[in-house]
Structure formats: structure tokens, C-alpha cells
A and B are shown apart, each in its own frame.
Chain A
Amino acid sequence: MSEFLQQLLNGLSLGAIYALIALGYTMVYGVLRFINFAHSDVFMVGAFIGYYLGKLVPEGTFWGGLLVLSGAMIGCALLGMFIERVVYRPLRHGPTLNVLITAIGVSLLLEYTGQIVFGAAPRTFPQIFPAANYHVGSLTISSNQVFVIAVAILLMIALQLIVFKTKIGTAMRAVSLNPKAAQLVGVNNNVVISFTFGLGSALAAAGGILYAMNYPSIDPLMGVMPGLKAFVAAILGGIGNIPGAALGGLLLGTVETFIGGSQFSTYKDAIAFAILIVILLFKPAGLLGKFTIEKV
């Protein structure tokens, strides 16, 4: 039983990270209807910004850690907005496949530029937040896990407030519903899309830092697998659906951790895709998504 609870805790902290990344995918898909493949590499850049900022602040302090986290989020938000402005905006009315291919191109560019700039060898991520282990009964809870779950929950609440309580959030939902109609009632689509990219990339950066805290070895290709799995999580919950992405992330993280702890641990990387395929076959709109019929 205690092992079950321990695994559940590990799974939830991994799932919270997947959920943060999945939110970025789902928001971009909501407004632009395309898979931003480069999102997983923004996640990687976030972890690296954290690595370099982490050297500047005193190690293991709460405020220092917070500073690193917000620095990485701002840096990645700018990066995300820059990518959108330079690469995706000129293609906005192009065929979906072109955009998808360009996104793959941006993703590869970030990965391999990362290998040149940061070096291909893995690095140890510094302990930016204070470290401690708490024992509750037979459970061992590390402070990192507490931070991961707390930060993820706080960010998701903040996101929910932004999307549903602010003016720009209303505009985001309007663009996602119908971009042309939104434009007609005076929404500046460019600003909204730019903001969406910034917001999604900031969440990816937070995910990157939290991931690096829990698995403290970072390299330029670290984003590929978590990115793909987070995308699976976004589809699992219903793409374009924000609570769905959170649910999908938590589910996927938990399932994966349990598989990893069982005798089938070597199949861990395949399980996310198996879930994806099953979900798409039986419920193509995802767990919380609505199925729409294509109209000519």
C-alpha cells in the first residue's frame, strides 16, 4: 500500500509537469489549429535558462529559486513570441501541412543549435530550491515534489483566471471559437495569438525547470520525449480544452510511473503512444473534447 501511494505521488508530480507542457500545446492548437512541435524545445530552453540563471543566485534558497523560475518563464515567453512572429505568422493562412513541417523545422533548429551552444553532453541541474525530505508514515516526500505539484497547481489556477476572468482571456476564447468573427468585433488577432504563444511558452519553461529539478540531468534533446508525451496528454484530454490537458497530463504521468515501477518498465516509452492510439480510435475528440463534423 505504501509503495502504491509512493508511486502515485511520483506519478502525480511527473503528471503535473506533463500537464504544464500540454497546456501550451492545447492553447496554441485552440487559437491556430496546429501542433507546435517546437514547444518541446522551448521546454528544453527553459531548463537551460534555469541552469545558467541558477549559477547567478545563491543555491538552495526559496527566493533565488523563484527568481530563476520567473526569469526562465519570461525568457521563454519572449522566445515563443519571437518564433511566432518570425516563422508562424507569415504562414498563418498557408496549408496545415506546411505549418506542421515548419514547426518540425523550428524544433530541429532549436535542438541542434542547442547542441552547439550548450554542448551535447548532459549537465547536472543545480539545486535551486531548498532540498529536504519529509517522512509521512512510510512515505518519503521530497521538497522538489512538493514544489513541482504546488507550482503546477498555482500556475494552472493563474491560467484559468487569465483565460476566464481577463479581457485578453476572453479574446483568446473568441479567437479560438472563430478567428474571423473575433476580428469583426474588434479583437486584434495578432496580439492575441502572440500572447497565447507567450503564455504557453512560459508554462513550458516552468515545466522545464520543474522537470530538471526532479530529473537533474539536462541536455539539448531532453525535450523530445516529454514533449511528445505532453502532446499525447493534450490529445488524451481533448485538444484545445484546458482542463482536459491538465487531466490528460496527470493521467499519463501516473500511468507511466506505474508501468515504470512494474516488470514492464522497458516498455515505458511505448505506453504513451499506445494510449494515444487507443484514445484516437475510440474517442477521437479526447476525454473532455467535443466531436465536430467537418462541414464543406
Chain B
Amino acid sequence: MPRPHLYLLATLACAFGLSHFSDKIDPYFLDVLTGIGINIILAVSLNLVNGYTGQFSLGHAGFMSVGAYMAAAVSVFLGPRLLGEDGGTALQQGSLFLAALLTGGCAAALAGLAVGVPSLRLKGDYLALVTLGFGEIIRVIFQNFEPLGGALGLNSIPAYTTIFWVLTLVGLAVFVVTCLVNSTYGRGFLATHDDEIASEAVGLNTTRYKIVAFVIGAFFAGTAGGLYGHFKMTITPTGFDFTKSIEIVVMVILGGMGNTLGVILAAILLTLLPELLRPIAEYRMIIYSLMLIVLMLARPQGLFNFKFGKAKL
């Protein structure tokens, strides 16, 4: 069996195992693990866009917020009608959550398509800025959209997110991205990243590759948003601002762009860091930013990228 499939199976087995013993595990540990999982999904999906395809997107938090809001809307507004007064059985809740996550993911993917089609004609700095702009526009729209809570945000979202769901989705996200990039079709992402003009010259439709990467990235960002909403039980538009996007970008860069394992490690490290640095929490962002600068000067290929030779950026 190919390795990605084995890893997927192993993750699913882990998910089952952990959810079976979840009431025996320290809740704090579970919370941290959930946070790590959500960040891994975000970082791995952004890595498909920023790392493998080489398109610098700064609006990932925007797609996350679309997913979070749509998923929350499904379980808050549709949930009570479908499940009835008593809240339904565990299986019913599970299927509702699955539907909510899928809705969130698809809505984010649609947003990704809407953003990607016009903006992917731009390159480098401009693309970064336009995606940032879209992220901000999405935030302002949610702030003004009263049915979803407006500036106050959406509250009392049912806490459906369990370690099982998180691990399963982490496994799926990593599996899809790895298999996609390593497939014959997926080589086009790397080609687009390496040299766009040369790829076009050999007949690859680079725009299409960029849009596909964008849409898939947005889909997983949306599901991560759905998990996040049902984990925190409350979401506000300001929680998904520019800073959140930067945080995800830092994970991707730290891990070494286009290196899934490195990005996973970076996501784990950067989620644990604030927990470990809790006594000096106000210095966290200073450490972050210094790390970014020093890393770019000293190790531009990323902290966890151990491939020797030319840095691929």
C-alpha cells in the first residue's frame, strides 16, 4: 500500500482510539490537541497555495471565517429543526456536524473560486495584497451582516468538535494534499511554482492550476473554520483578521514552503509555543516576528526543510 494511504489509515485509527479514551484524558491536553489539529489543517491547505503552487495568499483567515460562519449557521439555525427538542442521538448530531462542515468547506471553496478567478491574474506582491484585501472585505461584510450576529459574532454554537473529527480531517487534508501534489496532474502545481513562463510554454494551463490550488486550499480552510467554530462555540468577525492570516503564513514559511511534513511540525510548534510561553505571553508576537526575520536571513528555506541544495522558494 502506498505510504500516504498508510498514514491516513494510521491517523484514522488514532482518531478512533483517542476518541474512545477521550474521557480519561486531561481536557486541557485535548484542547491543545484540537488547536494543533485545526492549525495543521489550515497550514497544510495554505501550503498547497503558497508552497507548492507558489502563489502568495494573505487571505486564508477570510476563507476560514466563511467556513466557520456557514458551518455554524447550519448547526445553529437548521440543527434544532432537524434534531428536535431533545437534541437527537449521537449519530444524528454527527451527521448534522458532517453536513455543517461540508457546507462550510463548500462555501469557502466557492469564495475561493470567486476570489481566485479575478485575482490570480496578478503576481507576487499584488496577489498578496489583493488576497489580503479580500480577507478584509469578507470580515467587514460579516461585521455588517446582522442575521449572523454582526459585529458581536455568533454565539451558542453547539460544541460538536471532538478529537475524532479533528484528527480525521487532519488525516484527510494531509492525504488529499500529498496525493494531489504527487500525482501526474499535480506536477503542474510544482511546475507553476518553479517557472510560470516555462510551464505555459510547454502547454500547462497555469491559471487553472492556480485556481484549483486556491479552491482546494479554501475548502480545507473552510472545514478548519467549521471545526474552530464548533470548538470555541462562539465566533466573531475580528477573530479572522489579517493577524490570523499572517499566523498561518508563518507556519507555512517556518515549515519550509512546499514541504508538508515541515509545515505540520511548524504548526505543532507554533500552537504549543504560546502555551509554553504563557508566563511571557505579551512577548509572543515579538518572538514570532523576530523568528520570521532571522529565519529569512539565516535559513530562507524554512526551519524544518532538510533538503539540501538550492533553497526552493
Footprint of B on A, CB under 8 Å?
Answer: 34-35, 87, 90-91, 94-98, 100-102, 104-109, 111-113, 115-116, 224, 228, 231-232, 235, 266-267, 269-270, 272-274, 276-277, 280-281, 284, 294, 296
A29 nearest in chain B by CB position = B125
CB contacts under 8 Å to A, within B32-51, are: none
| Residues of B close to A273: CB separation below 8 A | 132-134, 136-137
Say whether B125 contacts A105, CB under 8 Å.
Answer: no
| Interface of chain B: mostly helix, strand, loop or mixed | helix
Interface contact B133-A98, CB-CB below 8 Å: no
Closest 5 interchain pairs by CB? A273-B133, A105-B292, A108-B289, A109-B289, A270-B140
How far is A260 from B65 in the complex, measured between Cα atoms in Å?
Answer: 25
Query: With the chains together, A191 CA to B234 CA distance in Å?
Result: 53
Question: Contact at A108–B136, with CB atoms within 8 Å?
Answer: no
Since A97-B56, A105-B293, A284-B126 are in contact, a sample of 9 more A-B pairs with Cβ atoms closer than 8 Å, ordered by chain A residue number, is A102-B293, A102-B296, A105-B290, A107-B289, A116-B282, A270-B137, A273-B132, A273-B134, A273-B137
Report how far A101 CA is from B301 CA in the complex, Å.
Answer: 12
For residue B120, give the distance in angstroms from its CB to the closest CB of chain A: 11
Q: Which residue of B is nearest A112, CB measured?
A: B285
Q: Is the CB of A116 within 8 A of B286?
A: yes
Cβ of B106 < 8 Å from any Cβ of A? no
CB pair B125–A266 under 8 Å, yes or no, is no
In angstroms, how far is the closest chain B Cβ from the Cβ of A150?
31
Q: Given B134, B246, B297, which contacts A87 in the complex, CB threshold below 8 Å?
A: B297
A96 in contact with B125 given A112-B286, A270-B137, A273-B133 (CB within 8 Å): yes
Known: A97-B313, A116-B283, A270-B137. Contact between A102 and B144, CB under 8 A?
no
> Would A98 and B286 count as touching, CB distance under 8 A?
no
Tally B residues with Cβ within 8 Å of A: 39
B144, B290, B292 pick with most chain A CB within 10 angstroms? B292
The residue on A at minimum CB distance from B297 is: A90
Partner of A97 from B124, B143, B292 at Cβ < 8 Å: B124
Contact B296 A112 (CB under 8 A): no
Q: Which of A96, A106, A235 contacts B289 (CB 8 A)?
A: A106
Nearest neighbor of A111 in chain B, beta-carbon distance: B285
Cβ-defined partner of B140 (8 Å) among A111, A267, A280: A267
Name the one of B286, B292, B297 contacting A104, with C-beta atoms under 8 angstroms: B292
Q: From residue 47 to 61 of chain B, which have CB atoms closer than 8 A to chain A? A: 56
Tell me which residues across on chain A come within 8 A of B128, comparing CB atoms: 35, 100
Given contacts A97-B313, A100-B128, contact A277 B292 (CB under 8 A): no
A96 to B296, CA, bound (A): 11
- Do B129 and A270 have beta carbons less than 8 Å apart? no
Minimal beta-carbon separation of A283 from chain B (angstroms): 12
In the complex the two chains form, what is the Cα distance from A112 to B119 in whole Å? 31
A113 nearest CB neighbor, chain B only: B286
Decide: B286 and A87 in contact? CB cutoff 8 A.
no
The reply on B102 being an interface residue by CB < 8 A is no
Q: A97-B56, A109-B289, A281-B118 are in contact. Are A34 and B125 (CB under 8 A)?
A: yes
Q: Which of A87, A108, A266 contacts B288 (CB 8 A)?
A: A108
| Contact sample, A vs B, 23 pairs, CB 8 Å cutoff | A90-B297, A91-B297, A95-B300, A96-B124, A98-B296, A101-B253, A101-B292, A104-B249, A105-B292, A105-B293, A105-B296, A106-B289, A109-B286, A231-B129, A232-B129, A232-B133, A266-B143, A270-B140, A276-B130, A280-B122, A284-B121, A284-B126, A294-B197
What distance in Å separates the Cβ of A252 from its nearest Cβ neighbour in chain B? 13
Give min CB distance, A193 to chain B, whole Å: 17
Within 8 Å CB of B134, what residues of A? 273, 277
State whether the Cβ of B83 lies closer than 8 Å to any Cβ in chain A: no
Of listed A34, A107, A273, A281, residue having the most chain B CB within 10 A: A273
